[in-house]
Amino acid sequence: MPTYRLSELAQRVSGEVRGEGDPEIDGVAALDQAGTRQLSFLTNPKYRSKARDSEAAAVLLPAGVELPGRSLLVHPEPYLALANLLDLYHPPPPPPRGVHASASVDPEASVAEDVAIGAHAVIEPGAVLESGSIVGPGCVIGPKARLGERSELRANVVLYAGTQVGKRCLIHSGVVLGGDGFGFATSGGTHHKIPQVGRVVIEDDVEIGANTAVDRGALDDTVIGEGSKIDDLVMIAHGVRLGRGALLAAQSGIAGSTRVGDHSMFAGQAGAAGHLTLGDKTIVAAKSAVLADVAEGGMVAGIPAVDHRQWKRAQAAFRRLPELKKEVGDLRRRLADLERRLDEAEDRS
């Protein structure tokens, strides 16, 4: 592991050294695991006590967080600095090269000279593998599918026929791109399959987590916008158009033909029904179900999803239901008693 002075690290990430000394740093670790020659990381002030007690030689943190008596690396975007430092101390291995002897590459496929193809991968007729792309073991690239420059498929990824993957994409193991959308015409109690003739188009700089599925459109393409990042176990249905720079956390799902705007976010297990429009910078809270359109910049929560402020008020009221039920019961008894007394007074008069 290479060793750098804290000041050298600061220079590499355009940060600032503050506090005590200029220690040598030979790695990066969590606050409670860092050794005396390692850098650690603090962004949440509630962990300040852990940072004070940590054995770390120095702490990376944002401006405005004070930690007296420690060597500090201050950065306006500490997560970005952390990513760059992890790359520095843990550089990726050199990319593989060449075609494994057990791979099956159809002679009608177009494969750049510097492509790497792993064991038992299958490249079908008309597929295109552009320069610097990497195909992991067990992958299948269907007819006329395309893998863009410097994109990588980890082990056991499937690109169905016609699927297009842009440049610098990373597709993790078990992902299936371009499977048939869930489309059926029901007649007389029988479900007749509707041919799915659209494609899946993954734009540049997209990352897709393990065991995620993106289905092809029935007629239109399913599109994942440039720079989007999708977690493991996500389902994107046929004809969805996901905007640029979107973030989808694990087990979220988007039903057919829904449009999701640029820089939108779905938290874990959030979902959206089909044929909706979600504006740019929409945020969907965890376990929420979006059943109606959402305006640009909207933040929604709940089932069905509503404005998050309304949802918070509803949750506050929900927690008081037992108390409110008792209060209502008391009021009904008091009202009944008053009515009885009124009736008795009327009878006496």
What stretches of 135-232 show up as alpha helix (H) in DSSP?
A: none
To the nearest 10 degrees (0 to 180), the angle between helices 321-348 and 308-319 is 60
Cβ proximity of 204 and 222 under 8 Å: no
Within 8 A by CB and 6+ apart from 68, the residues are 19
**Is 9 in a helix, a strand, or coil?**
helix
Find, among 223, 183, 191, the residue nearest to 206 by Cα.
223
Cβ proximity of 154 and 135 under 8 Å: no
* Ramachandran angles phi, psi of 18, nearest 5°: -135, 165
Q: Can the peptide bond before residue 107 be classed as cis, meaning omega within 30 degrees of 0? A: no
Annotated catalytic residue 238: yes
DSSP string across 89-100: HSPPPPPP-EE-
The strand pairing partners of 171, in sequence order, are 153, 208
Cβ proximity of 264 and 277 under 8 Å: no
The strand pairing partners of 272, in sequence order, are 254, 290
Report d(CA 321, CA 70) in Å as an integer. Answer: 49
The one catalytic residue among 172, 238, 263, 275:
238
Report residue 286 as tokens: 């965890």
- In terms of DSSP bridges, do strands 184-187 and 190-193 run parallel, antiparallel, or are they unpaired? antiparallel
CA atoms within 13 A on the CB side of 59: 29
CA atoms within 13 A on the CB side of 101: 0
List residues with catalytic annotation: 238
